Structure formats: C-alpha cells, structure tokens
C-alpha cells in the first residue's frame, strides 16, 4: 500500500497530483480550504480510498489536527510506503514592504512555512520506527533564492522552507531509519496563482509583465506534467535528504535512475 498526504489538493499541482494518484494500491489523504468534489467522485467511482479534509492550514491548530487525524487512520505494514507532499501555499500579500498587510502576512507565513513544519514534525515522529520508504516533499519556489520586488513575505517564506528542509535533512541523516526530505522548485506553472500574478497591479509587482510574456509565449508548464515527474521520482533512492532540487534535476533523475511506480 502507498499512502500519500497532499496539501492544497483543490487545484494546481495539488489537484494534478491527487488526480494521478487515484489508482488501486494507493490510499490518499487530501486537504484544502475547499473540497474538490470532482476528485472525491473520481475516487469513489474507482473505489480508491480518499480521505478529504476541508481545513485552513494557516491555522496551526487545524494543521496539527489534520495530520494527527491522518495517523489515526494509517497502520503501516511491511512493503508499505508513505509520502507527505507539502504543496499548499499562498502569494498574498503582494506589494511594497512599507504597506504590508500584517494580518495577511501572518497567514501567509503560517501556511507557507509553519504548516509544513507542523505536518513534517508529526509525520517524522509517527513514522520514526518504520523502516520502509518515507518521504517528505516540500514544494518551494525559485523566489526562495531570487528576490522579487513586492514579494518580500512570499520570497522569505519560501527561503525559510528551503532552510527548514536542509536542517531537517541534517537531523534525519543521523537517525536509525532516516527518511528522505527534500524541497522542489517546480518552475513556472499555469495555475491559479499565475493568473493572480498576471492580474496584479504593476505598482504592487513591477515584474508582472515578465509573467504575462511567459504566459503569452506558452512557456508555462502544465500542472499534470509536473505532477507526473514528481510521482515518478518521489521514492527514488538517489534523492538526497535535505536537498533542494529543481524540476530539471528531477527530470534527470527520472531519465537516468529509472521511474518508480505510483
């Protein structure tokens, strides 16, 4: 049995991942603020266990409650594999630091950084005696290392997620049964977040036209293509715990190291 825990499952990469994972042999735990009814119906029709939770992971209490409820339903056995995919994230607030909406900034930092920390901490504790493949994937961004004017909170939250991944990997490498934790910068993908970027006031985000041009030139990746690459490599034993990788690096792993079954 493969267990997958996916945050931000209602749209974008999260939806694409969940949709591809609705196959026999998988048990899924999905969470988002609003339930994706199409995914629930698809899983029901194919008789694939999908436990879908509506929750706001920017609330530490809701994040902790979600992941603890997951492990109330999971009993890991020989030959099982389990993965946590921290995909949920938000871009707002966008704009100059001097005019930051601090309530929104707190919500963003909680969702983009604190929630993955909470979920990962409990995931590690609940699976520490399990000797089979265990993986935590944190979806990061190129904005973690490339600064954009107007994205001070977003860039900082993703940079924090990268460093959290590195530190957790350092700690886990010394464990008796180490799991793999890594962060992925998936590139620029055609999602709802990209639509929001293209509609942002230029005064708030001076680089807006760059993203409009990428869209018009057809240079945005499709969520389903990125999801396929992720799922064919997520349990690959060549991944280094604590690493931060790009989608191109995952493509190389898939090409030369062989693909894993979903």
Residues catalogued as catalytic: 154
> What backbone torsions phi and psi does residue 177 show, to the nearest 5 degrees?
-120, 75
Say if CB 110 and CB 117 are below 8 A apart.
no
Q: Rounded to an integer, what distance in angstroms lies between the CA atom of residue 144 and that of residue 4?
A: 25
Q: Cβ atoms within 10 A of the Cβ of 202, count?
A: 10
Q: Rounded to an integer, what distance in angstroms lies between the CA atom of residue 207 and that of residue 38?
A: 35
Question: Is the Cα dihedral 63, 69, 72, 75 positive or negative?
Answer: negative
Question: Is the Cα dihedral 12, 154, 250, 133 positive or negative?
Answer: negative
**CA 85 from centroid of its chain's CA atoms:** 5
Contacts of residue 142, Cβ cutoff 8 Å, sequence gap at least 6: 185, 187, 188
Question: Is the Cα dihedral 183, 140, 247, 27 positive or negative?
Answer: positive
CB burial string 206-221: b at 16+ within 10 A, e below:
eebeebeebbeeeebb
From the list 183, 209, 105, the residue with the least C-alpha distance to 151 is: 105
């Amino acid at each position: 049995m493969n267990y997958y825990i996916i945050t931000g499952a209602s749209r974008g990469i999260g939806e694409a991942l969940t949709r591809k994972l609705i196959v026999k042999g998988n048990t899924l735990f999905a969470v988002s603020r609003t339930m994706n009814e199409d995914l629930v119906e698809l899983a029901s029709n194919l008789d694939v266990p999908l436990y879908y939770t509506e929750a706001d992971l920017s609330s530490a209490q809701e994040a902790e409650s979600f992941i603890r409820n997951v492990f109330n339903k999971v009993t890991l056995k020989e030959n099982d594999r389990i993965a946590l995919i921290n995909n949920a994230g938000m871009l707002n607030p966008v704009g100059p630091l001097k005019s930051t909406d601090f309530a929104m900034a707190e919500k963003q930092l909680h969702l983009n950084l604190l929630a993955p920390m909470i979920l990962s901490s409990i995931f590690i504790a609940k699976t520490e005696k399990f000797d089979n493949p265990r993986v935590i994937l944190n979806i990061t961004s190129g904005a973690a290392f490339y600064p954009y004017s107007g994205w001070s909170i977003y860039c900082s939250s993703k940079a924090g997620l990268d460093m959290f991944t590195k530190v957790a990997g350092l700690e886990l490498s010394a464990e008796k049964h180490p799991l793999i934790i890594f962060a992925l910068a998936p590139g620029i993908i055609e999602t709802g977040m990209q639509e929001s970027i293209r509609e942002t006031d230029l005064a708030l985000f001076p680089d807006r036209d760059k993203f409009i041009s990428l869209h018009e030139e057809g240079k945005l990746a499709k969520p389903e293509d990125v999801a396929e690459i992720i799922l064919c490599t997520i349990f690959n034993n060549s991944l280094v715990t604590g690493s931060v990788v790009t989608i191109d690096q995952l493509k190389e792993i898939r090409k030369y190291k062989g693909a894993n079954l979903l």
